[in-house]
Chains A and B, each alone.
Chain A
């Protein structure tokens, strides 16, 4: 069946450090892939997405590339800020906007 696995947190970084959050997936076919972010006390919001293999999604300095050969969609940012502190979820849509979410990776960025 479809599933998403992402690295466990929390991840603690200093401001301006490089960020990678790993995400791998299992799916039938080649679905779109998403990263959602949840800031403290808020609901989830879309961070970026990629709709086909080798696509790169990007937003707010974050990037993720859809790698079919490794079934991965790792999230990266070159220089994190304190305001990036949040929980990040990798997500796989299946069957008309039904989504599978990873367990989430909490990012703490210290000044």
Chain B
């Protein structure tokens, strides 16, 4: 059973550039959430996708956008990169509430973004 997979694992960008991160959820999961984890901090919720729509959003600017595809995979896009966007970006999958919801998130290993 494949778990949550993310790509790329590491990438380096310069300020002002754009980046796309990708995530495939755990088999059987239909909800994907993205988190930003700055060095030495806990993950911060960016947004959540279910049925190809953004369902919830954290306190992140519009430079952060996403997409969910019919196969439940997801992308996170960040435009006009800032130095402060350097972080580990974690994708987490789960089942939507009401469908055998254990309340557990399954995380990928993350994509480490460095902005120079």
A96 touches B96 (CB 8 A): yes
Main secondary structure of the interface of B (DSSP, over half): loop
Shortest CB–CB separation between residue B1 and chain A, in angstroms?
Answer: 14
How big is the B interface, by class?
Answer: 20 to 34
Q: Which residue of A lies closest to B58 (CB)?
A: A98
How big is the A interface, by class?
Answer: 20 to 34
Q: Which residues of A contact B4 (CB under 8 A)?
A: 43
B97 touches A96 (CB 8 A): yes
Q: Which residue of A lies closest to B57 (CB)?
A: A98
B40 touches A97 (CB 8 A): no
- B42 touches which of A41, A51, A93, A102 (Cβ 8 Å): A102
Most buried by A among B35, B42, B48, B96: B42
Residue B94 is within 8 A (CB to CB) of chain A in the complex: yes
